[in-house]
Amino acid sequence: MSRQDREAYLAGRQAFERGDVERALSKLESVLDRCPSYADVHYMVGLLYERKGKLERAAASLERAVEINRATPKPPSPCRPSTSDAASSNALDNSPNNCRRTP
């Protein structure tokens, strides 16, 4: 993401949080024009269209956010080490920041 896109994203997110629908849509859609694979931007755009009553556009944006999230590999959770990775499990047990695990 370029600096310009990052600035547009941040301005769009701030407008979204303030409830400024038109400014948020303008900024976030400009991000999607250049960076169409950001699920969180599609999600916010979907919510904004829902607020405007444009339900078909809202549904399309929200569905795209879900598609992107499904396709994005998730990193392993440090709270749930693989049972085949004993070294990782031991490292977590000895870590001062380890997650609480249930037996």
Please state, in angstroms and as integers, the Cα–Cα distance from residue 93 to each residue in 58, 81, 83, 101, following that order.
45, 11, 14, 9
Please tell me the CATH code under which domain 3-71 is placed: 1.25.40.10
**Residue 103 tokens, joined:** 């037996």
pLDDT, tens digit, for every residue of 65-85?
Answer: 999 999 877 777 666 555 544
Alpha-carbon torsion angle 55, 56, 59, 63, nearest 10: -170
In this prediction, what percent of the chain has a pLDDT beyond 70? Answer: 74
Asked if residue 31 lies in contact with residue 41, where contact means CB atoms within 8 angstroms, the answer is yes
Q: Where are the domains of the chain?
A: 3-71, 74-103
* Total count of residues recorded for the chain: 103
Q: Which of 26, 28, 44, 31 minimizes the C-alpha distance to 3?
A: 31
Alpha-carbon torsion angle 69, 71, 76, 82, nearest 10: 130
pLDDT, tens digit, for every residue of 6-30?
Answer: 999 999 999 999 999 999 999 999 9
Q: Distance from first CA to last CA of the chain, Å, rounded?
A: 42
pLDDT, tens digit, for every residue of 47-64?
Answer: 999 999 999 999 999 999
What confidence score (pLDDT) does residue 99 get?
A: 33
